Amino acid sequence: MTDFVLTADKICSNGYPDCGCAILNNLTLNLQREEWWRITGESGSGKTLFMRCMAGLVPHRGSLSLNGKSFQSYSLPEWRRKVLFVGSKPIPFSETIGESILLPFRWRKTPVPSNEIVMQILRSTGLKFDLDASTKSLSDGERVRLALVASILLHPEVLLLDETLASLDNENAQNAIGMIRKSSHDTGMTVVWVDHGNRLTGVEPLHTMAITKP
C-alpha cells in the first residue's frame, strides 16, 4: 500500500463568501514524498483556490490528510507550517532581509539557521544582499526569491507555489528551481506548482493535474 504524504480527496470549495472565486467540485490529488506536480487549467478554473484549500487557507469540503492524519487533527498553524503556500507577490515579514527570513523561526520557537547557511542559500538564488539590507527597495522578483529562501529553510513537507516564478527572468527562475530541487532531494519535500511559463521544462519526473471549469 502506497503511503501518501498529502491526500486531497473530493475537495469542494467556493472560497470565502462573496469572494468571486472559482468553484471547485470533487477534486482529488494524492502526493507522495519528493514528487513534483504541475497543476494546469484555463484562467478561472480554480487552480489557485485548490492550492489554497490544500494549504488550509480557505474553507473546503471533502477530506485532507497529511502523513495519514486528518486535517482536523492538526491546528491550523501546525498544518500551515507543514504545507506551505507561496504566492506570486509575497510580502517580506520585516524591514530587513535577515529578519524576514528568521522571524518565522522565532515565532515557531524552532532553532534558527546560521547566517552562513542563510547566506549560502541566498547566493544560490542570485541575491547578493547582506542580511541587514532593507527589504523596502526589493523588486517583485527579489521579494519572490527572498520568500523562496525563507520557505526552503523552514523545511515544509509540501511546498505549494502559485505562479511564484512569474516575475523572474529565465536565469533567476532556473536558479530558484535548482535550489528547490536540491531541497526536495535532501529533505523529501513534495512540490506542487501552478506555472504558466513552462519554467519546469526538463524537470523529471513531473506529474500533471489538469483542472477544468465545472
What residue spans define the domains of the chain? 6-210
Give pLDDT, residue 16.
66
Q: In angstroms, rounded to a whole number, what is the distance separating the alpha carbons of residues 52 and 66?
A: 15
Segment 14-53, tens digit of pLDDT: 876 655 566 788 899 999 999 999 999 888 888 999 999 9
Segment 100-136, tens digit of pLDDT: 998 888 888 888 889 999 998 888 888 888 899 999 9
Spatial contact of 100 and 143, defined as CB atoms under 8 Å apart: no
Taking each helix axis from N to C end, the angle separating 97-108 and 140-153, rounded to the nearest 10 degrees, works out to 30
pTM over 0.85: yes
Q: In angstroms, rounded to a whole number, what is the distance separating the alpha carbons of residues 102 and 153?
A: 9
Closest listed residue to residue 179, CA positions, set 163, 162, 195, 165: 165
* DSSP for residue 187: H
Taking each helix axis from N to C end, the angle separating 170-187 and 140-153, rounded to the nearest 10 degrees, works out to 10
Q: Domain 6-210 belongs to what topology?
A: Rossmann fold (3.40.50)
Q: What per-residue string of b and e applies to 84-93 under the rule 16 or more CB within 10 Å gives b?
A: bbbbeebebb
Give pLDDT, residue 149.
92
Taking residue 47's Cβ as centre, other Cβ atoms within 10 Å add up to 24
Q: Are strands 61-66 and 36-40 parallel, antiparallel or unpaired?
A: unpaired
Percent of the chain with pLDDT over 70: 92
